[in-house]
């Protein structure tokens, strides 16, 4: 049994797909499949049910998963312990980022960290916030930049980067363009363009609608702010953005406050613990890159 076999096994279990797992570990799909078949022969049991397109863990696979993760963590800890003694941090960090969120300070933090600690392999994964939070809880992710409504996830450490209210954003000539504020009901009289489910902005919007018994008419949704703004500027609906997002596009859209939606949309870094020295160092770079924002 080799560590790389355990690594491939964990990757397939977490991705639930051999192709995505192969992309994650940077080898061919056939290579991943062959190594897992060899691991199964050594263990005397199949680890995955391959009868469907999704790679589902068998009972034996479920029993093996946490032990495989523990073995990989123990192996990484050996390198970290030696690295701390020699003042050189090594290992690997897997960072998650909410889909459609391009935040330059995060990229700056990763770049600065890489220059300071080239012995640490960095991996960046994009997903919706719910899956990112689950990944941090399970240990599949060391750190994640997530969107949330009002509060950060329970059971995790957090550093809030942004906390601000939602606004509507409309092009010149739109019926809402001349107003200083609108109610949620007034906003929903128009088609809405917003972020997809799993993002902090959408969570705030959905929660506010549910609280007032309203059903939003989501005309279009996109994971990239530029796309939302471009669609709204073309008159296809009212964009729902955070205050800072809308301010960035004042040359194209006019922000209009939503008077009865007080719940803030959060953008936050979350992690489970800092026993990993590489993670501790990355958090230092993250706080520095974000300029001490949040808390």
Task: Among 75-84, 99-108, 236-245, 265-274, name the one with the lowest average pLDDT.
Answer: 75-84
Predicted confidence (pLDDT) at residue 163 exceeds the cutoff of 50: yes
Strand ranges across the sheet with 143-149? 120-127, 91-98, 143-149, 265-271, 157-164
Predicted local distance difference test score (pLDDT) of residue 209: 94
Predicted local distance difference test score (pLDDT) of residue 143: 95
Predicted confidence (pLDDT) at residue 294 exceeds the cutoff of 50: no
Distance set, CA 278 to CA 115, 119, 137, 205, 273 (Å):
13, 10, 18, 36, 12
What phi, psi does 177 have (nearest 5°)?
A: -65, -30
Q: What angle do CA 18, 24, 28 make, to 5 degrees?
A: 55
Token duo for residue 2: 């080799």
What phi, psi does 255 have (nearest 5°)?
A: -75, 140
The candidate with the shortest Cα–Cα distance to 93, out of 293, 266, 271, 268, is 271
- Residues 177-233 have pLDDT tens digits of 989 899 999 999 999 999 988 888 999 999 999 999 998 889 999 988 899 999 999
The string of DSSP letters for 91-109 reads EEEEEEEETT---HHHHHH
Question: Region 63-74: what's the mean pLDDT?
Answer: 89
**Long-range CB contact pairs, 230-233, < 8 A, 24+:** 231/193, 232/169, 232/170, 232/171, 232/193, 233/171
- Residues 218-235 have pLDDT tens digits of 999 998 889 999 999 999
Q: Are 206 and 197 in contact (CB under 8 A)?
A: yes
- Residues 256-278 have pLDDT tens digits of 999 999 999 888 999 997 778 88
Predicted confidence (pLDDT) at residue 237 exceeds the cutoff of 90: yes
Predicted confidence (pLDDT) at residue 293 exceeds the cutoff of 60: no
Question: Region 137-158: what's the mean pLDDT?
Answer: 91
What average pLDDT does the structure give for the chain? Answer: 88
pLDDT class for 295, splitting at 50, 70, 90? very low
- Residues 38-54 have pLDDT tens digits of 999 999 999 998 888 88
- Residues 3-36 have pLDDT tens digits of 889 999 999 999 888 988 888 888 898 988 999 9
Predicted local distance difference test score (pLDDT) of residue 86: 45
Whole-angstrom Cα distance, residue 228 to residue 221? Answer: 7
- Residues 86-107 have pLDDT tens digits of 445 678 899 999 876 667 888 8
């Amino acid at each position: 049994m080799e560590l790389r076999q355990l690594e491939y096994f964990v990757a397939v279990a977490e991705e639930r797909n051999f192709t995505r797992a192969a992309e994650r570990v940077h080898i061919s799909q056939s290579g991943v499949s062959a190594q897992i078949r060899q691991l199964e022969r050594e263990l005397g049991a199949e680890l995955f049910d391959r009868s469907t397109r999704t790679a589902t863990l068998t009972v034996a696979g479920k029993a093996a998963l946490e032990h495989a993760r523990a073995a990989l963590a123990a192996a990484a800890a050996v390198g970290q312990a030696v690295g701390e003694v020699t003042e050189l941090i090594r290992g690997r960090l897997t960072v998650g980022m909410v889909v459609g969120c391009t935040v330059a300070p995060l990229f700056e933090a990763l770049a600065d960290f890489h220059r300071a600690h080239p012995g640490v392999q960095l991996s960046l994964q994009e997903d919706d916030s719910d899956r990112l939070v689950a990944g941090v809880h399970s240990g599949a992710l060391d750190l994640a930049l997530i969107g949330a409504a009002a509060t950060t996830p329970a059971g995790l450490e957090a550093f809030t980067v942004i906390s601000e209210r939602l606004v509507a954003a409309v092009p010149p000539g739109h019926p809402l363009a001349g107003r200083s504020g609108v109610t949620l009901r007034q906003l929903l009289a128009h088609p809405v363009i917003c972020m997809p489910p799993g993002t902090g902005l959408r969570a705030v919007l959905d929660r506010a609608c549910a609280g007032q018994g309203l059903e939003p008419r989501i005309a279009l949704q996109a994971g990239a702010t530029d796309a939302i703004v471009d669609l709204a500027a073309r008159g296809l609906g009212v964009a729902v953005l955070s205050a800072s997002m809308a301010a960035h596009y004042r040359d194209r859209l006019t922000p209009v406050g939503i008077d009865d939606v007080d719940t803030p949309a959060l953008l936050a870094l979350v992690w489970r613990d800092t026993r990993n020295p590489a993670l501790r160092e990355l958090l230092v770079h993250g706080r520095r890159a974000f300029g001490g924002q949040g808390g």
